Amino acid sequence: MQDPNTCCTAPTFTQTTGLGTDEETLIEMVCSRNNEELLEIKRVYKEMFKKELDKEVAGDTSGDFAKLLLALVQTKRDEPSNVVDYEKIDEDARCLYEAGVQRKGTDVAVWISIMSQRSVPHLQKVFERYKSYSPYDMKESIRKEVKGDLEKSFLTLVECFENRQLYFANRLNEAMKSKGAKEKVVTRIMVSRCEVDLMKIRSEFKKTHKRTLYQTIAEHTKGDYQKALLSLCGGDD
């Protein structure tokens, strides 16, 4: 049986590539997935559509935004290590600062290289160390240095590096409460995370939004769609 994360996500790439690309969806799907998930999505995408996902992403986006997405889809991120390299942490933090806030203009290539290749635990420590160089934290620096889809992509990456389950909890809350609830966003997240980390997402949702995911689904959806989501949710907290 295929991973629901892959079954739900791989076909969505065909809907987000081509004329009228949905950049918000593309950002979520690429920037919130780890190496293992992206490799599986790429495999299934090729199996289903006889196309390389890397080429699809590169051909349908442009500029630094395209370079970042392509770097992420190429899955060159280091795996976590038991060895903490404090010298490398300091070097990366300094490079992020010198490539952005310290200079006029942003050396985006440096940011892309570090954020697409370093392991998540390493980057968590890098962002802490970054505060000793910069008057702004990493997310504040991103908002000051870049705009548009590139800004959204970097912010999504940092949010997922810090707490991926909280990122999904916030996406669900925003999607359900937005005017004209974004059913595709809710469905994609619920289906793709139900066998991965939905229990942790439920916990983060309750902690952050002061009500349960189950209650929020019940309030903002209806009919068979509501029943399906509540079944995926698995219960109230």
Look at residue 18 and tell me whether its pLDDT is greater than 50.
no
Q: What is the pLDDT of residues 96-152, one digit of tens each?
A: 999 999 999 999 999 999 999 999 999 999 999 999 999 999 999 999 999 999 999
pLDDT at 3: 60
Confidence of residue 10 (pLDDT cuts 50, 70, 90): low
CB atoms closer than 10 angstroms to residue 236: 13
Q: Can you list the domains of the chain with their CATH numbers?
A: 4-73 (1.10.220.10), 86-146 (1.10.220.10), 163-233 (1.10.220.10)
Q: 32 pLDDT exceeds 50? A: yes
pLDDT digits (tens, 9 = 90+) for 36-83: 999 999 999 999 989 898 888 888 889 999 999 999 999 999 999 999
pLDDT for 20 equals: 43
- Residue reference for tokens 């002061």: 210
Average confidence score pLDDT of the chain: 92
Say whether pLDDT at 167 is over 60: yes
178 pLDDT tier (thresholds 50, 70, 90): confident
Higher pLDDT, 56 or 210: 210
User: Which of 32 and 19 is assigned the larger pLDDT?
Assistant: 32
Between the two ends of the chain, the Cα-to-Cα distance in Å is 29
Q: Which two tokens stand for residue 137?
A: 């934290």
- Residue 8, pLDDT above cutoff 70: no
pLDDT of residue 181: 62
**Contact (CB, 8 A) for 175 and 185:** yes
Residue 101 to residues 36, 52, 122, 143, 176, Cα–Cα distance (Å) = 33, 36, 21, 11, 36
